[in-house]
Structure 1
Amino acid sequence: MSYERIRAAKKRAVGTRETTKAVQKGLARVVFVARDAEAHVTEPLLSLCREKGIEVIMVDSMRELGRACGIEVSSASAAILEE
């Protein structure tokens, strides 16, 4: 279910750097974070999402998150952006 939501999104940010920038600019509606990502990578993003009140959905796999976003590599996080 969670992967389908990001897969179907028309606009998205992929990767922790892009996702963090989208959250900071107020463009992210929902953020997806992989449980198997390293905490030092995802914790600053999770804190920022809590601070901004943005919904976070935890998914199981970096590899599956990357595939759902249409990329060949793993991704620790991604976001659905405002259209």
Structure 2
Amino acid sequence: MTRITVDVNDEWLEAARQELGTTTKVATINAALEAFARRRKAAEILAAFDSVEMDFEGSADAWRYGGGRDLSRLAEDAGVADAA
């Protein structure tokens, strides 16, 4: 972990603390950095999906009744007393 001294805008820090639900300055800054890192990673994942050509023709039929998975006993298998 890196230890730094930095001047931050108090209003922005307080706004971030309220938004993130953190209780300390350190926790707020770390949570904000983590949120941006996750956002960047999500963007990279989406870009990877966008870069691959996918053919979904006929996929809707595979998930309708009679195609794909049989979910008719889902509630029973889960032990639900009244699935209706």
Q: Decide: shared fold, TM above 0.5.
A: no
More helix by share: 2
Query: What is the TM-score of this pair, normalised by structure 2?
Result: 0.24
Whose RCO is larger (CA < 8 A, sep 6+)?
A: 1
Largest Rg, 1 or 2: 2
